[in-house]
Amino acid sequence: MPDELLTVAQAVQRFDVSASTLRRLWRAGDLEGAHSRPGKYGDEVVIPEDTLSALFGSRDGAATSKTLDRLIWMLEAEQAGGAREVADLTARLAEAERQRDAALERLNGSQ
């Protein structure tokens, strides 16, 4: 029997997970077998129930150790990406400040 496909709304109810989490996983390509199909109000994302069970545990929302490990890994990866972005912005700010200081020295020196 083929795996049951659930809409985001159905998955939210069945697995006690937020719609925004499911959409983020969908955009990241982390929902194996999930795809978009025409729905009543436009395209809707459907996700195989087995994929959701592997990520979020049983139908009653009880998370497994593997699920928690996966979610922790995803959170750490997201935080690491934010840290890299902060480091990049800090370096760009320092360079802009050096350029400003050099321009001010040139301006003050020409007076």
Same domain, residue pair 41 and 4:
yes
Amino acid residing at 87:
A
Same domain, residue pair 8 and 34:
yes
Same domain, residue pair 53 and 70:
no
CATH assignment of the domain containing 39: 1.10.1660
pLDDT tens digits, one per residue of 59-106: 554 555 566 767 777 777 777 777 778 788 888 888 988 888 888 888
> Mean of the pLDDT values across residues 3-16?
89
Same domain, residue pair 32 and 76:
no
Q: Which domain holds residue 20?
A: 1-61
Tell me the whole-structure pTM to 2 decimals.
0.53
pLDDT tens digits, one per residue of 74-84: 777 777 777 77
Same domain, residue pair 20 and 6:
yes
Length of the chain: 111
Burial class (CB in 10 A: 0-12, 13-18, 19+), 88: exposed
Q: Between 98 and 56, where is the model more confident?
A: 98
Q: Between 75 and 37, where is the model more confident?
A: 37
pLDDT on residue 61: 46
What's the total number of domains in the chain? 2
Boundary of a domain, candidates 19, 37, 61: 61
